[in-house]
Structure 1
Amino acid sequence: MKDTREFPLLFNARSEGAAEKASFKAAMRHRRALVPASGFYEWRQTGGKKGQPYWIRPRHGGLVAFAGLIETYAEPGGSEMDTGAILTINANADIAHIHDRMPVVIDPRDFTRWLDCRTLEPRDVADLLRPAQLDFFEAIPVSDLVNKVANTGPEIQERGEIGPEPEKVKRQKSGADDSQMRLF
Structure 2
Amino acid sequence: MKGFAPNIPIAHKAERPFPNKEILWGSQGGGQTCFPTSTAAYERKYSADPVPLQKFGNAVSGAQERVWIVDEYLLMPDSGKPAKRIEQILTWLPLWFAASDIRLLTKHHQEVDEDELKKFQQRAQAINNQAVRREKECRIELRMHLTRDCDFVHDRFAIIDDELWHFGGTVGGFHSRVSAASRGWRAADHGAISFFEEIWNAGERK
TM score, norm. by length of structure 1: 0.21
Structure with more contact order per residue of length (Cα contacts < 8 Å, sep ≥ 6) = 2
Q: Is the radius of gyration larger for structure 1 or structure 2?
A: 1
Please identify which structure carries the higher helix content.
2
